[in-house]
Every structure is written in C-alpha cells, then in structure tokens.
C-alpha cells in the first residue's frame, strides 16, 4: 500500500509531464498482455465443459452491452448451479435446504447491492468507502476482474475517472508487490488524497477479513456441497468472461499504433511461452515507451 501510495503521489504530481506520459504509453500494452496471460491460464481450469463455455460467452456479452458486472458474475453462477442440479430441486427428489442449498441463493440479494447512481458532483469519502466496500464484498475470481467493477463504478456510474486513469491505476497495482487490489489505494489518492487512499484501501480489503473468519469453519461442508461446487464453477467461468471483456475495452484505449501492438504481442508471448516475470516486462515496456517518444517514433 505504501509503495502504491508513493506512485500515486508521483502520478498526481508529475503524471501530465511528457516523460510520465511516455512511460505509461509503453506500460499499458504490457498490462493488457498480462491480463491476456491470466485469461489463458484460467481457461484451462475454468472451462471444464461446453456449458461453462456458454457461461463465459454470456458473461462477456452481458458486460460488453453495459450490464453491471454483478449480474453476469452471480446471476449466471446461480443459473448454472440450478441447471446442473435441477434433479435436487423440490419436486425432483431433492431439497434446497441444509448443506446442499447452502450457497444456492445467497447471491440474489447481492445482485441488488450496488449503491444508487451518483455523479461526479457528489464525490465524498462516504461514497468512496461504500463503493469499495461493495466491490470488496462482491468481487469473485481473479484480481483482474476488479477492472470490470472499477470501470463500471468509477467511469460509467460515478464519472469520477477516465478509461485512461483506470488503466494507469491497474498498471501501478501490477508492477508493485502485493495484490492487484492495492489499485484501490491509487484510485483513492487520485480522488481524495491521503484520506481517500486510506478509506479506499480499508473499504476493499475489510470484507475479506470478515468472510474468511465466517466461512472458514464451513469449508468442509462447502466443499462437499454439489450446489457450492457448481456455483463456484459458474463463477469461475463468468469471471474469465468479465476479464476478457475488460481486456478488450482497455486494449482499445491502450493499443493504438504499430509499436503498442508489437509491445502487447511480444509481452504476451514472453509471458505465456517463457513465463517471464511481469514486473520486468512492465519496466521494459515503460523504457521502450520513453525511448520511442524521445526519438519521435510514436
């Protein structure tokens, strides 16, 4: 968090300088490649059959047409659990009570958990905290699914950030140690300085501590439940679909010329085929972007 906070300060102070712009120009295509690598790795484990492939495609489609990410993430997961466990439903010899139904419908209220619409004019620490608290409480899957939530809340709904700022925030969260969720620190600082950074960080991480404490005693029962197993299978597939949607949309704003196309492709090959550390690639992309801008190649 402290490292991200330092980068956030530098971004706010020097982010508009030509040097910073050049660095981010080269870093952003690499970040897209990192997301593509994550999607590639998850595909092999998340898509176990054709029905999960359908879940992925539906999640991708729903996200691209502008639905709140919670709808495909939890709605499709619940639907997948129902379809694959229909024989356990009442009337088909089964029951949705007890451990088998433990995770059948808890997601339904979550679909309506998003705060009401806001605008850039009503920024406040309370709204910032509640938004990140909601994200921390409902986001499931790879940390890169965070991008879908950030874009939906802070770009589309609240209007507090631009697409470029979201990519910049994720770039900083990627090449600093720790989880990608430290992106919240960066965004909080951009919006509200040090108080905003602290509020955003506490908001996004707090639910995890609560959930781990509450759920841990139930882990054996959750693992044995066919409802839980299929719900999580559906959530994994939907999460990959959301990641693909985010990669596409952010790629449109980050991969803009032959050099950025080359950077993204080269980084993807090095990550997937040779498994290089993404931090070095991010640094390399920044150096190439800086050199390209200084030499007039971009």
User: Greatest CA span in the chain, whole angstroms?
Assistant: 72
* Reported confidence tier of residue 94, pLDDT bands at 50, 70, 90: low
pLDDT average, residue stretch 188-196: 95
- The answer to whether 265 and 7 are in contact (CB under 8 A) is no
What are phi and psi for residue 126, nearest 5 degrees?
Answer: -65, -45
CB-based burial label for 187 (10 Å; 0-12, 13-18, 19+): buried
Residue 54 corresponds to which tokens in the numbers above? Answer: 């359908």
Q: How far is CA 108 from CA 8, 72, 103, 270, in A?
A: 36, 12, 10, 41
pLDDT at 52: 96
The rounded distance, in Å, linking the Cα atoms of 141 and 146 is 9
pLDDT at 86: 83
* Reported confidence tier of residue 259, pLDDT bands at 50, 70, 90: very high
- The answer to whether 251 and 267 are in contact (CB under 8 A) is no
pLDDT over 90 at 279, yes or no: no
pLDDT in tens, 57-69: 999 999 999 899 9
pLDDT average, residue stretch 172-195: 89
- The answer to whether 189 and 196 are in contact (CB under 8 A) is yes
pLDDT at 122: 72
The rounded distance, in Å, linking the Cα atoms of 235 and 298 is 40
Q: What is the pTM of this model?
A: 0.81
Span of 53-67, 156-170, 180-194 with lowest mean pLDDT:
156-170
* Reported confidence tier of residue 284, pLDDT bands at 50, 70, 90: very high
pLDDT over 80 at 8, yes or no: yes
**What sections of the chain are H helices per DSSP?**
2-14, 18-46, 50-64, 70, 76-84, 107-110, 125-138, 146-150, 163-175, 183-215, 219-224, 226-254, 258-273, 278-295
The rounded distance, in Å, linking the Cα atoms of 114 and 128 is 13
């Amino acid at each position: 968090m402290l490292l991200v906070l330092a980068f956030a300060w530098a971004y706010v102070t020097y982010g508009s300088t030509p040097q910073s712009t050049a660095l981010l120009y080269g870093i952003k295509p690499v970040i897209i490649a990192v997301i593509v690598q994550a999607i590639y790795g998850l595909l092999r484990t998340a898509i176990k059959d054709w029905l999960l492939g359908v879940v992925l495609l539906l999640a991708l489609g729903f996200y691209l047409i502008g639905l709140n990410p919670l709808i495909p993430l939890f709605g499709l997961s619940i639907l997948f659990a129902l379809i694959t466990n229909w024989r356990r439903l009442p009337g088909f010899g089964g029951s949705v009570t007890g451990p088998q139904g433990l995770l059948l419908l808890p997601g339904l209220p979550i679909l309506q958990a998003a705060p009401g619409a806001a605008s850039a004019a009503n920024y406040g620490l309370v709204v910032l905290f509640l938004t990140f608290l909601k994200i921390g409480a409902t986001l499931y899957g790879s940390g890169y699914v965070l991008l879908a939530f950030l874009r939906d809340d802070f770009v589309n709904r609240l209007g507090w950030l631009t697409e470029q700022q979201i990519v910049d925030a994720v770039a900083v969260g990627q090449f600093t140690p720790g989880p990608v969720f430290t992106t919240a620190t960066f965004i909080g600082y951009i919006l509200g300085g040090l108080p905003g950074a602290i509020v955003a960080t506490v908001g996004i991480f707090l639910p995890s501590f609560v959930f781990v404490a509450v759920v841990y005693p139930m882990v054996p029962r959750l693992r044995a439940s066919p409802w839980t197993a299929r719900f999580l299978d559906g959530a994994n597939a939907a999460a990959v679909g959301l990641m693909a949607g985010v990669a596409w949309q952010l790629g449109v704003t980050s991969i803009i010329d032959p050099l950025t196309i080359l950077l993204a492709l080269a980084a993807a090959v090095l990550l997937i085929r040779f498994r290089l550390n993404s931090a070095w690639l991010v640094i390399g992309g920044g150096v190439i972007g800086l050199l390209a801008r200084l030499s007039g190649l971009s």
